[in-house]
Amino acid sequence: MLRVGLTGGLATGKSFVGQALVKLGCHLLQADHLGHAVLAPDGEAYQAVIDAFGRQILNDDGQINRKRLGEIVFANPAELARLNALVHPAVFARQEAWFASRPPGAIAIIEAAIMVETGSYRRYHCLILTVCRPELQIARAMARDGLTEAQVRDRLARQLPESEKRKHAHFVIDTSLSEEDTLAQTAQVCAQLKRRAL
């Protein structure tokens, strides 16, 4: 089995590329979904996160309010590191279980936003990085997430620069042009992954 990481900055097209790879025969798991699962009331990290950040992060129904939690941690690198230390071990354990359930010879891809920042890119045989022009990235994030330009720029300022991520990437897919162009690049990458998986 070939273990592949798929990462990229905010609104650079990770999910679009991931779904294109699925259509080309790859297996995909979005780490964000695992993050949601481990923070659910029956999740492995739920109680530890409440103990660390207090009951003010809970909705009335007992669910963790991810937006409220995000407001606490994204403004404070130390708090973000504390949250990651609670959540990532549970997420990685679920990833390993998912890998174990893939068929032999599969191309198994984990999609995650902060793979290089956390060092988790080392867990994979190769890394795909999605990139796009900064002005397009800002426009996409504003349209998708309902954020102001200032909010998007603030989030981007806290992410590792693209130049640093490129140092660790085996493949770079630039999503700045048309969807057709992105799909063509993705198909080329997939062909190389299939050769590596043999």
Task: Identify the bridge partners of residue 29 per DSSP, sorted by sequence position.
Answer: 110
Q: Do both 176 and 163 map to the same domain? A: yes
Do residues 37 and 94 make contact, with C-beta atoms less than 8 angstroms apart? yes
Q: Please tell me the predicted confidence (pLDDT) of residue 155.
A: 84
* Among 104, 134, 153, residue at a domain's last position: 104
Query: Which residue is associated with the tokens 């404070």?
Result: 76
Domain tally, the chain: 2
pLDDT tens digit string along 100-153?
999 999 999 999 988 998 899 999 999 999 999 999 999 999 999 888 999 899
Domain interval for residue 82: 32-104
- pLDDT of 74 strictly over 90: no
Q: Round to whole Å and give the CA distance between 150 and 5.
A: 29
pLDDT tens digit string along 147-178?
899 989 988 887 899 999 999 999 999 999 99
Alpha-carbon dihedral of residues 28, 47, 58, 55, nearest 10 degrees? -150
77-100 vs 46-53: helix axis angle to the nearest 10? 180
Largest interatomic CA distance in the chain:
51
Kindly report the length of the chain.
Answer: 198
Q: Do both 113 and 96 map to the same domain? A: no
